């Protein structure tokens, strides 16, 4: 594992799931981490409790309540990072907070208000905005850095049941590819992982979890995705800036090509069929 002693990271969504697993890796590597999230999941609270006896390690973790859809709160997260860890420009920024469409404000549910899609605000707008804020601060500090995005295999295909989520993840991939030249220009590496279905609270609370379980579909552990995030961030010779790393297997990862990519295998046919049936019920196509 790379030694990140003295480095500082800001991780949105670090209170649970993939980003919590990544936060734990960062701490083990010697990094200081500010978790910017709405709250801490029980797993996060248990982990923090488990390191209370290690004063040095515990001092390197700080939680800052953050609603990533509010840009002022993103600014406040950077300010909290400066106050707690002494830097306005974290070396590592992870815009990891996300939601999955079927259990939030879906396209088919049409529950969004305030002239905006919540899925876009969290899964697309916040990562792009946080990245720009990080780049500005790193340039002002005249230092290199890494911005690690959490995309999805959904960024390589389309889903009738979750079109907003797919659009957001396609957008993240495009954004990461667009930022590829920053590494050569100023030493800022913008990269991403694109995992398949992963055992996180986000996944466990979705209808997709039941559908994939019925299809005996293999689901990733959060630790696997976190390890891929750590690799794409630290293995600079293997993974250049602009890399989107597909994670569909515990160890067999694949760099996604910008053009003419074969794409992931995709969901089982019976799962796609159930999703189509769900949308059909919403549209009342049989009436």
Q: End-to-end CA distance of the chain, in Å?
A: 58
pTM over 0.85: yes
pLDDT digits (tens, 9 = 90+) for 122-139: 999 999 999 999 999 999
pLDDT digits (tens, 9 = 90+) for 32-82: 999 999 999 999 999 999 999 999 999 999 999 999 999 999 999 999 999
Per-residue confidence (pLDDT) for residue 218, from 0 to 100: 78
Q: Of 90, 73, 69, whose CA–CA distance to 81 is shortest?
A: 90
Place of tokens 């899609």: 117
Average pLDDT, the chain: 90
Per-residue confidence (pLDDT) for residue 76, from 0 to 100: 98
Contacts of 198 (CB under 8 A, 6+ apart): 17, 18, 219, 220, 221, 222, 224, 225
Q: Is 260 exposed, middle or buried (0-12, 13-18, 19+ CB in 10 A)?
A: exposed
Phi and psi, residue 149, nearest 5°: -95, 155
Show me where the domains of the chain are located. Answer: 8-283
Per-residue confidence (pLDDT) for residue 278, from 0 to 100: 59
Residues of the chain with pLDDT under 70: 102-104, 205-216, 265-287
Per-residue confidence (pLDDT) for residue 49, from 0 to 100: 97
Q: Of 168, 268, 133, whose CA–CA distance to 213 is shortest?
A: 268
Q: Which residues of 144-176 are buried (b: 16+ CB within 10 A; e: fewer)?
A: ebbbbbbbbbbbbeebebbbbbbbbbbbbbebb
CATH class of segment(s) 8-283: alpha beta
Distance separating alpha carbons of residues 208 and 274, to the nearest angstrom: 10
Contact 207, 102 (CB under 8 A): yes
As given in the structure block, the two tokens for residue 263 are: 């794409």
């Amino acid at each position: 594992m790379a030694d990140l002693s003295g480095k500082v990271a800001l991780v949105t969504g670090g209170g649970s799931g993939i980003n919590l697993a990544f936060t734990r890796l960062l701490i083990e590597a010697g990094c200081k981490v500010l978790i910017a999230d709405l709250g801490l999941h029980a797993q996060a609270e248990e982990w923090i409790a488990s390191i209370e006896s290690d004063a040095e390690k515990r001092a390197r973790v700080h939680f800052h309540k953050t609603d990533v859809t509010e840009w002022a709160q993103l600014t406040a997260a950077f300010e909290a990072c400066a106050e707690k860890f002494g830097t306005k420009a974290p070396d590592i920024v992870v815009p990891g907070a996300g939601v999955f469409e079927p259990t939030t404000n879906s396209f088919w549910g049409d529950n969004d208000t305030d002239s905006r899609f919540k899925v876009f605000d969290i899964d697309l707008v916040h990562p792009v905005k946080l990245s720009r804020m990080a780049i500005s601060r790193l340039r002002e500090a005249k230092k290199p850095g890494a911005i690690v995005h959490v995309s999805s295999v959904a960024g390589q295909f389309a889903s009738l049941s979750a079109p907003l989520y797919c659009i957001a993840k396609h957008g993240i991939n495009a954004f990461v590819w667009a930022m590829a030249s920053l590494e050569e220009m100023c030493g800022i590496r913008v990269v991403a992982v694109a995992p398949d279905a992963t055992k996180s609270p986000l996944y466990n609370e979705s209808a997709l979890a039941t559908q994939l379980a019925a299809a005996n579909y293999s689901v990733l552990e959060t630790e696997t995705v976190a390890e891929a995030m750590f690799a794409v961030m630290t293995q600079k010779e293997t993974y250049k800036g602009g890399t989107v790393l597909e994670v569909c297997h515990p160890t067999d990862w694949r760099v996604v090509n910008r053009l003419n990519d074969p794409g992931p295998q995709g969901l089982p046919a019976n799962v796609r069929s159930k999703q189509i049936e769900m949308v059909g019920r919403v549209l009342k196509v049989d009436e």
